[in-house]
C-alpha cells in the first residue's frame, strides 16, 4: 500500500504524559499537513511542511505541541504534558505540489485518548 500511513492507530495515555505520533506520506509528496479532528467536527489545520521546512502553524498549536519533518520524508507530532482536551483524532495528509491547487491524501489517523 503506497498511501499515507500513521502510527500508532490508537494511543491511550494518562494526563501529563508525552506522546509522539508518526506520519509517513506518499513517497513523492513534498507537502505534509497535520490536522486534529474531534467528534462532530471537520479536521482543524494544525501545521504544514514543505519538504523539511515548517511553513505554517495554527494558533491552535500551543507550546506543548511540536512537529518535525527532519529529512523531508516522515513527520512526527509530539504533545507534551497531555491534557484531557487533547483527546482527538490526529490526521496526517500529504500532497505532491508544486502547485497550490493540489488535493490532499489523508492517512487513517491516530486516535488519542487522554485519561
Partner 1 sequence: AQSVAQPEDQVNVAEGNPLTVKCTYSVSGNPYLFWYVQYPNRGLQFLLKYITGDNLVKGSYGFEAEFNKSQTSFHLKKPSALVSDSALYFCAVRDINTGGFKTIFGAGTRLFVKA
Residues that bind partner 1 (CB under 8 A): 3-4, 31, 33, 35, 40-45, 48, 50, 55-56, 58, 91, 93, 95, 100-101, 103-109
Yes or no: say if 92 and 32 are a contact pair by the CB < 8 Å rule. Answer: yes
Yes or no: say if 54 and 67 are a contact pair by the CB < 8 Å rule. Answer: yes
Choice between 40 and 70, CB closer to partner 1 = 40
Residue 36 pairs with which residues in a beta bridge?
A: 44, 90
Q: Please, what is the minimum distance in Å from the beta carbon of residue 45 to partner 1?
A: 5
Question: Taking the CB of residue 86, how many other CB atoms lie within 10 A of it?
Answer: 19
Q: Please, what is the minimum distance in Å from the beta carbon of residue 33 to partner 1?
A: 7
Amino acid at each position: 500500500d503506497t498511501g499515507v500511513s500513521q502510527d500508532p492507530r490508537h494511543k491511550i495515555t494518562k494526563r501529563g504524559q508525552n506522546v509522539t505520533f508518526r506520519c509517513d506520506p506518499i513517497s513523492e509528496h513534498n507537502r505534509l499537513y497535520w490536522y486534529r479532528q474531534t467528534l462532530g467536527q471537520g479536521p482543524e489545520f494544525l501545521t504544514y511542511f514543505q519538504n523539511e521546512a515548517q511553513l505554517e502553524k495554527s494558533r491552535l498549536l500551543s507550546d506543548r505541541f511540536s512537529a518535525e519533518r527532519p529529512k523531508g520524508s516522515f513527520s512526527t507530532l509530539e504533545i507534551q504534558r497531555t491534557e484531557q482536551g487533547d483527546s482527538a483524532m490526529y490526521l496526517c495528509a500529504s500532497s505532491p505540489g508544486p502547485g497550490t491547487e493540489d488535493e490532499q491524501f489523508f492517512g487513517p489517523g491516530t486516535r488519542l485518548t487522554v485519561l
